[in-house]
Amino acid sequence: MKLLNFAIIKITICLIVGILVAHYFNLSISLVLPFTLILTIVLLTFLIVEKKHLVKSSGFGILTIFTFIAIGILNYQLHDQKSFRKHYTQHFDPVTDTVETISFRIREVLKPSVYHDKYRVEILNINDQQLVGKTLLNVQRDSFLQPFKVDAIFITSSALTDLNPPINPNQFDYKKYLEKQYIYHQIFTNKNELLSVPSDTNTIFGYAAQLRTHINSKLKYYNFKPDELALINALLLGQRQDISPEIYNSYSRAGAVHILAVSGLHVGIVLLLLNSLFRPLEYLKHGKTVKIIFILLILWGFAVVAGLSASVTRAVTMFSVVAIGMNLKRPSNIFNTLAISMFFLLLFKPLFLFDVGFQMSYLAVIAIVSFQPFLEGLWRPQFKPARKLWEIFTVTLAAQFGVVPISLFYFNQFPGLFFLSNLVIIPFLGIILGMGIIIILLASINILPFWLADIYGGIISIMNSFVRWISLQERFVFSDLSFSLLQVLTAYLLIITLAFLSKKQNFKRLTTAMFAVLIFQSALIFEEKRNQTEEFVVFQKSKHSLIGIKKNMTLSVAHNFDSVTSIRDNVIKNYKVGNAIKDIKNDTLENIYAFGATRILVVDSLGIYKIPHLHPDYVVLRDSPKINLSRLLDSIKPQLIIADGSNYKSYLKRWELSCMDQNIPFHSTGRDGAFVLRKQ
């Protein structure tokens, strides 16, 4: 049975292509809308008039492809909230317009930062004008301030500000990440600038948050440790805000971070439990229908309680299709099931396509279905426990074929002991989830025995300790790995050819696989050649100076850090990974740099800039030198002034005015980002 013979798979691929086209190309909706309507009408007309005679023709196939690509483009544009008539960006410019009042509703509590509590909020009105839109709320942290509740409404006069783009090379682009969630601005405020507005209106998200709060209040009575309670919230309630960085990093380095997010693994186990629980209903008249309805209601109720994140929504959608197929006793192909769930998810949430969890979940399941039967057939132990462990191992190994390339691209690390952590955790996850549901139900009605709570807390502590031990085996954790998008694409091309080869071995498929190997090797060589460049970089580092000189795949770093070495610094780490740096050397900050034909003068706190016979092209100001910049400009006439993050902000404003007076460009790394000079 050929994979692409399934119509739903072809249609889903076309929808994905349309979403990608709309995302990367700015197409006018006034052209796309009539074009899509015409194609849809023609397609439906042919389906009604010609019926089966046209369905199998190549012309009908081409028409279908273009129709669903157009639907994908239009679907993306219709979900673009900036184009909504009532969206605040259509009526209000945060740069030029003054904010008198903004009213908003708390929609989601996010993980706090060091200085701010963070929330995703929905705008209700601006300056008494009813508008819509999402934004990020940053409230200055206060030990006496309780976290805001979901559905709470506030009014503030604090301004809407732009999201900050990355300021150093290869830094995570938090601005783009938020824009893919239709968040384009943020609010910085404190509790004194927020006025609470009484409201009796509650949404389903508010009720779900109240339920989670009630459950947590009951669980706290049983003295669960903070890490144990955080794991219960993550595994059963889909809330990861309270997981400590230490625990999260341990699971990440052990290759078990997927355990912390409610996803297909969790929902699949819940489905199996529900299917067994409601099996007696099958003996009643219409019992199967009632059973399906109960299962679907509970699964989607679980999704709402878990916050309707991308991972849980994807998982519940997919397993809803699986549940219907299981209980109707109709044969279904897993690729069809995946395609159906993906199609409807992207139809209602097209930006899910760019969600990392969404991508990894589908790739993992596809890889398991493609490779696990072949791997399992390599060895068939007679001893049942060994056979079960071998099945778990092959499932875990098969999943890595799907997630390793994209995991390297996003996270730049590979946990070598992933199979060991999953081999131990996955068999007991069903027990942990099943027992956890019982614990929550008993605690909610105040009949949970303390001894049972202690046993459950002990199981979670043992799991955490085991994962922590795995993560400490640093020789098996391969980190700071550079993997480009081109390498990701060619790696998946190789994996796809290997999947087809594992199904059926013949000369044609073997030749295709070998050709894919050559393409992947060519991509590796191309990326290595592409990184054979030279750069001079003045990084942005608050209160510090950090200069790097890249020569091919070696980076020399000069800095004035007091206690933290540059090699461990995240700024250098990101640059190292993004540019495939193999060797980092520590250096001292110099006052003069020669980079090709360019001469660079660094003026530090001593303020020395008059150097005989030196005519610098660029001047770097660091450590707030007490100089008259106008005299410096008159004396050496540089082409550009660069000020790094070690300077006082008051000095930056004065220096910029001096540069403007003499029409010389001024680059502040705190505002404009790192300065990068590449050798031509």
* Confidence check: pLDDT of 565 > 60: no
The domain 534-678: what is its CATH number? 3.60.15.10
Residue 466's DSSP bridge partners are none
What's residue 329's pLDDT? 59
DSSP-H helix ranges across 306-417: 310-328, 334-348, 356-376, 384-411
For 11, the 3-state DSSP assignment is: helix
DSSP-derived pairing of the beta strands 592-595 and 598-603: antiparallel
What's residue 208's pLDDT? 81
Question: In the chain, what is the straight-line distance between the N-terminal and C-terminal CA atoms, in Å?
Answer: 54
- CA distance linking residue 63 with residue 57, whole number of Å: 10
Encoding tokens for residue 7? 């119509």
396 or 524, greater pLDDT: 524
* Integer angstrom CA distances of residue 349 from 181, 204, 334, 667: 10, 19, 22, 40
**What are the pLDDT digits (tens) for 313-334?**
777 887 787 777 766 655 566 7
- CA distance linking residue 227 with residue 124, whole number of Å: 37
Every domain of the chain and the residues it spans: 3-78, 88-201, 207-255+416-481, 266-351, 485-530, 534-678
Least confident among 122-136, 353-367, 530-544, 559-573? 559-573
Task: Indicate the length of the chain as a whole number.
Answer: 680
**What are the pLDDT digits (tens) for 208-254?**
888 888 888 888 888 888 888 888 888 888 777 788 888 888 888 88
Other C-beta atoms closer than 10 Å to the C-beta of 207 total 14
pLDDT (average), residues 379-402 = 82
Encoding tokens for residue 233? 């919230």
Look up residue 502 and give its amino acid. Answer: S
Spatial CA neighbour of 159 closest among 92, 240, 113, 244: 92
Same fold, 88-201 and 534-678: no
pTM over 0.85: no
What's residue 14's pLDDT? 94
The domain 88-201: what is its CATH number? 2.40.50
pLDDT (average), residues 653-674 = 93
Considering just the CA atoms, what is the radius of gyration of the chain in Å? 29
Spatial CA neighbour of 629 closest among 653, 611, 645: 653
**What are the pLDDT digits (tens) for 616-630?**
999 999 999 999 999
> Is 20 buried (19+), middle (13-18) or exposed (0-12) by CB count in 10 A?
middle
**What are the pLDDT digits (tens) for 6-51?**
688 889 999 999 999 999 988 888 889 999 999 899 888 877 776 6
| Mean pLDDT over each residue of the chain, to the nearest integer | 85
What's residue 680's pLDDT? 63
* Confidence check: pLDDT of 476 > 80: no
